[in-house]
Chain A
Amino acid sequence: MSDFDLTLLKPAIEKFIPMGRPGLLPALHAAQNIYGWLPEPVAAEVAKSLRVPLADVHGVIEFYSMYYNTPTGRNVIRVCTDPACGLRDSDGMLKKLCLQYKLEPHQTHPELDLTIEPSPCLGLCDQVPAVLVTNGNQAIEEFTSTKTYRPKSPVGGTLRLLTKNCGGGATSLRKYGEYAALKKAKSLSREEVVEEIKASGLVGRGGAAFPTGIKWEGALKAEGDVKYVICNADESEPGTFKDRILMLDDPHLMIEGMCIAAYAIGAAKGCIYVRGEYPYIVPVLENALNEAGRAGYLDGFEIEIRVGAGAYICGEETALFESIEGKRGFPRVKPPFPTTYGVFGMPTVINNVETLSNVPLIISMGSAEYRKIGTEKSPGPKLFCVSGDVVEPGLYEVAFGASLREVLDMAGGVTNGRNLKSVLFGGAAGAFATSDHLDVKMTFEDLRAVGLPLGSGVVMVFDETRNMRDVLKRLGKFFAHESCGKCYPCQMGTQRQMEILDRIADGKSREGDLVRLQDVGWTMTDASLCGLGQTAASAVLSAIKLWPEIFVDSE
């Protein structure tokens, strides 16, 4: 009846069957790894095995852009077409690859079992134009000779605390040393650990800047049979690649941070949710977890690795919970907040990779010493992902309070001796700065005062020759592609915004487009359900303030 040998499927998904619905994403990954895509009989078999309604399984496949329910090659080449890569002609790269294999984007070459497609940001903005080549769940390099299996990024800066072990390949446990901070934490009471994190002034590094200690305190006090610590490694904000480097080069720092969090709140379960575009990180994490387990550091704290499937929205904490639960990544309405009602309805601490990597530092140094780094209101070290038109794109660690000028100098300044046109701060969900902002100190308070978000630490540089309309068009496309579709302002607003930015980039703007963009933008900002919609117009609205003339045709 079926052209697909389902006998291969059963052993591959067997271990996910007892999980029921929460096993759905891992089971679909395993199935797609066999068949290259998810044909109907395969999806039906997964549904039957996990006891998930057929329509729901279909809904999940349809939500995640890395699941395919039409014939797709086992080998997929993804070319990033977001702003940083766009500056280095990623469109041309996509075209070239398509020509080489005689394919249209999204088309499949049956003999080579190959599909080529454009992709949202791959988190490789320091090595542009970025291309990810996968075979099933593995990252490979057979199809492009320029890319290596494991991306290596320049790491620099004036501080090397978070990046102490970064820049030289994966750090084994032997090199990392014992989990001394965890040991020290366990000599304290849970409450004392939470107090220490609160006293450090650490706030989330994923973009929302929520005080970490307050989250931990909430989860410690919350009632629940099982508590969870989740590491949000769904790094997908265009221009962001810091978490990739931290995980690849020094996974133990983050895992030790998770262990300390688990001790502090009394969590028995943990999860690292890695975006699907980072398949090459998974074996590194698995290895590090095995090492930590063998050394006895996990001590009853069970950490699972979950792999996303192509959905920026799953970086939103509640959407990430839904995804772990085997559902479409729709963000939930808040309250209730994760600390009391997180994944599976249990008290949950969810922190970003960089945030968790700060934790062992704080415990080792003590909060007082930690606070000597940075400024009073923004203590600690900070990672900046510098990309675009600079001599050396890469990851730079500084103390909070370094100026934009200093960070740009570290990256060698603007390429070809050109002048600076603009810097996109904080990612696609961020805002544009200009040379007027070069001496602004990069702290939460100083940036807020000039209306710039720190976001996830993105510093994307555009030189004076750049066409900002093209940059905006790419941002518009990104949000339209990534909106989950749950709330109306974002579902329709990202589409309308994209349409208007498209025609402006094509020199075909219509009368009233600037006001249209503002109405759509403010409606998304004020009325959307989650952070994605609330920031989907942020960069556009900032561009309107800086360069109103580009939104109107010159003739």
Chain B
Amino acid sequence: MSDNLTLVIDGQEISVEQGKTLLEAARENGIDIPTICFHEATTANALCRICVVEVEGMRLLQPACIVKAAANMKVQTRSDKVVRSRKTILEMLASTMDLSDAPEILTMMDEYGASHERFPDAERRESDIKDDNPMYIRDYSKCLLCWRCVQVCADDAQYTYAINFEGRGYESQIGTFFDKTIPETTCVMCGQCVGVCPTGALKPKRQFLLEQGKTPSEISVMNTGRKQRKPR
């Protein structure tokens, strides 16, 4: 049994194990802090900043996913500052990318009263669907740059390094070496990137085809060179 410490989150006194993050401390005690880029299986990078909270005595909002709980800390998870940041980040996301396959973010937008039309005339990040391998498709119009796919492809899981980043700033996108197709890269089709994608930007080919209206039997013979089985 390790040492516990006590802190206050939203007025509620909470006792947690040393070394826990604010996110863990909050969630263990039924206090909701939203997350987007955070995933238990990947290194937390504190990118999305949707989990920011206000900590007394600190000028800047703190990302709950990485900041450790400390004794006597006073934390507010829904202060005006926090809510303004979360709402604005959500509104900027909606003006940037296609959220149609991201139900959790859509729910979050409802909860924070975030408008889909907040930024009229905003340049969106759009991209053609990359359908270049038999296992999965890449639709970067739906990518919110959580980095998880790059992380699992690299040091967080697979050590394959097939994908990395293109561009920088708003122009960033996940990409391969000189835009090679997936079969031309070191990709081993492990599928872990697809598994951690939160927005449908990476999707199993079969699911993609089903959504396109193809039937399972049509899919099973696609691109395999096999003849369709004759009906009996």
Interface of A toward B, CB cutoff 8 Å: 40, 43-44, 47, 53-59, 62-63, 69, 311, 328, 333, 480-489, 491-496, 499, 503, 510, 516, 519-520, 522-523, 526-529, 534
Contact = CB atoms under 8 A, between A and B. Distances in A.
B170 A494 contact: yes
B165 interface: yes
A527 B87 CA distance: 12
B198 to A, nearest CB: 13
Contacts of A488: 36, 47-50, 89, 92-93, 144-145
A529 B144 CA distance: 17
Contact of A495 (B144, B162, B169): B169
B112 interface: no
Nearest to B60: A526
Given A58-B164, A480-B169, A333 B92 contact: no
Interface in B89-147: 89, 92-93, 95-96, 118-123, 144-145
Contacts of A492: 89, 92-93, 95-96, 170
Nearest to A510: B120
B145 to A, nearest CB: 7
Contact of B119 (A54, A58, A496, A534): A496
Contact of A333 (B66, B145, B178): B66
Contacts of B154: 53
Given A59-B165, A333-B45, A499-B123, A523 B88 contact: yes
A69 B170 contact: no
Contacts of A522: 81, 84-85, 88
A485 B172 contact: yes
B166 A491 contact: no
Contact of B123 (A481, A489, A495, A526): A495
Give the top 9 A-B pairs by smallest Cβ distance, nearest first: A53-B161, A59-B164, A485-B172, A495-B170, A483-B169, A54-B177, A55-B164, A492-B92, A523-B88
Given A54-B177, A328-B165, A485-B172, A526 B81 contact: yes
Interface of B: 36, 45-50, 52, 60-61, 63, 66, 81, 84-85, 87-89, 92-93, 95-96, 118-123, 144-145, 154, 161-172, 175-178, 185-186
Contacts of A494: 169-170
Contacts of A44: 177
Contacts of A62: 165-168, 175
A54 B185 CA distance: 9
Contacts of B120: 510
A487 B60 contact: no
24 contacts: A53-B161, A54-B186, A55-B164, A55-B175, A56-B164, A58-B176, A58-B177, A63-B168, A482-B169, A484-B168, A485-B170, A485-B171, A487-B47, A487-B49, A488-B145, A491-B145, A491-B172, A492-B92, A492-B93, A510-B121, A522-B84, A523-B85, A526-B61, A526-B81
A328 B46 contact: no
Contact of B177 (A55, A480, A482): A55
B178 A53 contact: no
A512 to B, nearest CB: 9
A55 B163 contact: yes
Contacts of A528: 49
Among A47, A55, A57, A527, find the residue whose CB has the most chain B CB atoms closer than 10 A.
Answer: A55
Nearest to B162: A55
A493 B52 CA distance: 16
Contacts of B119: 496, 499, 516
Nearest to B165: A59
A428 to B, nearest CB: 15
A119 to B, nearest CB: 16
B89 A58 contact: no
Among B48, B166, B168, find the residue whose CB has the most chain A CB atoms closer than 10 A.
Answer: B168
A496 B168 contact: no
Contacts of A516: 118-119
Contact of B60 (A59, A520, A534): A534
A47 B177 CA distance: 11
B171 A527 contact: no
Nearest to A499: B122
A526 B87 CA distance: 13
Given A55-B164, A59-B165, A488-B50, A520 B172 contact: no
B53 to A, nearest CB: 10
B178 A483 contact: no
Among A59, A485, A493, find the residue whose CB has the most chain B CB atoms closer than 10 A.
Answer: A59
Contacts of A40: 177-178
Given A527-B61, A527-B89, 17 more contacts: A43-B178, A47-B177, A54-B185, A59-B164, A59-B166, A62-B167, A62-B175, A333-B45, A485-B145, A488-B48, A488-B50, A489-B88, A495-B170, A510-B120, A526-B81, A526-B84, A526-B85
Contacts of B46: 333, 487, 529
A56 B178 contact: no
A69 B178 contact: yes
A520 B162 CA distance: 34
A328 B167 CA distance: 10
B176 to A, nearest CB: 6
A58 B49 contact: no
A69 B95 CA distance: 29
Contacts of A481: 169
A484 B169 contact: yes
Contact of B84 (A58, A487, A503, A523): A523
Contacts of B49: 487-489, 527-529
A530 to B, nearest CB: 10
A365 to B, nearest CB: 34
A210 to B, nearest CB: 14
A333 B45 CA distance: 7
Contact of B175 (A58, A486, A523): A58
Contacts of B96: 492, 495
A534 B96 CA distance: 21
B169 A499 contact: no
Contacts of B92: 488, 492-493, 496, 520
B161 A55 contact: yes
